[in-house]
Amino acid sequence: AQKITQTQPGMFVQEKEAVTLDCTYDTSDPSYGLFWYKQPSSGEMIFLIYQGSYDQQNATEGRYSLNFQKARKSANLVISASQLGDSAMYFCAMREINTGFQKLVFGTGTRLLVSP
C-alpha cells in the first residue's frame, strides 16, 4: 500500500535562507508521481511541484526544487531564498499509476515558519 511519511512537524528558517522539507514514501508500483502542496493559513491548497518516477531530472519550479532520490525513496522539497510568504503548511503526496486507482495519498505535513 502506498504511504507517505513527513517526519518534521515544524521547521524554522530565516528569510533569504534555503530550507529542505523531508518526504519519504513507500510503494511497490514502479510507476508513480510525487506532489508537493502548500497550504497557507487561509486554507487553500496550492500545487507547487511534481516529480514522476521515470523522470530523469529533478523537478524545478522557480524557487522550488525537488531532491528526488529514487533508491532511498525520498522526495524532499527545497525552497531557496525563503520569503515571509513561504510560512505555511507543506504536504507531500503520492499517486500510484498502476495500482493506486487514481488515489492521491498525503503525508501529515510540515509547518514552515520563516522569520525576518
Shortest reach from residue 102's CB to other proteins, in Å: 5
State the pairing for strand pair 19-21/74-79. antiparallel
Cα 38 from Cα 48, distance rounded (Å):
7
Nearer to other proteins, 14 or 108 (CB): 108
Residue in 20, 21, 28, 29 with CA at minimum distance from that of residue 5:
21
CA distances from 48 to 29, 38, 64, 92, 99 (A): 23, 7, 7, 10, 24
Nearer to other proteins, 43 or 85 (CB): 43
Positions in the binding site for other proteins (CB under 8 A): 6, 9, 31-33, 35, 43-45, 47, 50, 52-55, 91, 93, 95, 97, 101-109
Nearer to other proteins, 25 or 91 (CB): 91
Asked if residue 46 lies in contact with residue 74, where contact means CB atoms within 8 angstroms, the answer is no
Asked if residue 84 lies in contact with residue 15, where contact means CB atoms within 8 angstroms, the answer is yes
Shortest reach from residue 55's CB to other proteins, in Å: 8
Nearer to other proteins, 15 or 40 (CB): 40
Shortest reach from residue 16's CB to other proteins, in Å: 28
